[in-house]
Amino acid sequence: MVQYAGAALDASFAALSDATRRGVLEQLGRADASITDLAEKFHMTLTGMKKHVGVLEQAGLVRTQKVGRVRTCKLGRRGLANEAAWIERQRQLWAARFNELDKLVEELKQKEKADVRNKR
């Protein structure tokens, strides 16, 4: 399970690392769109947009459906809950570390003040 979760996170973060793909997700959050529409909106070739959509689809963030000659893109069924949870765990870890650092700095300041008083 851990390896699967890690692979899914890797795929999601890799997909989200590109500004165009993040833009595609934002666009699909507003309305479904064809690959042609997305390519036009982002001033890209169809081939380039197909590659971006493919990365998002592999990560499970987008799904496509072909009707006739048109391939329509929609947001994927799974959200970003696992990714958000991972980010929150990292945020808490860093917050705890910074809190400890703040305490240490405050202790050093108090010690420095005490040393200055003792030298007078």
The per-residue DSSP string of 7-21 comes to HHHHHHHHHHTSHHH
Number of domains into which the chain is organized: 2
CATH number at residue 47: 1.10.10.10
Same domain, 42 and 11: yes
Task: Give me the tens of pLDDT residue by residue for the chain, a chain 120 residues long.
Answer: 445 568 889 999 999 999 999 999 999 999 999 999 999 999 999 999 999 999 999 999 999 999 899 999 999 888 888 899 999 999 999 999 999 999 999 999 998 888 888 876
Residues 70 and 102 in one domain: no
Q: What is the pTM of this model?
A: 0.75
- 7 plus 36 within the same structural domain: yes
Q: How many CB atoms lie within 10 A of CB 46?
A: 13
Provide the domain limits for residue 17: 2-75
User: Residues 38, 64: one domain?
Assistant: yes
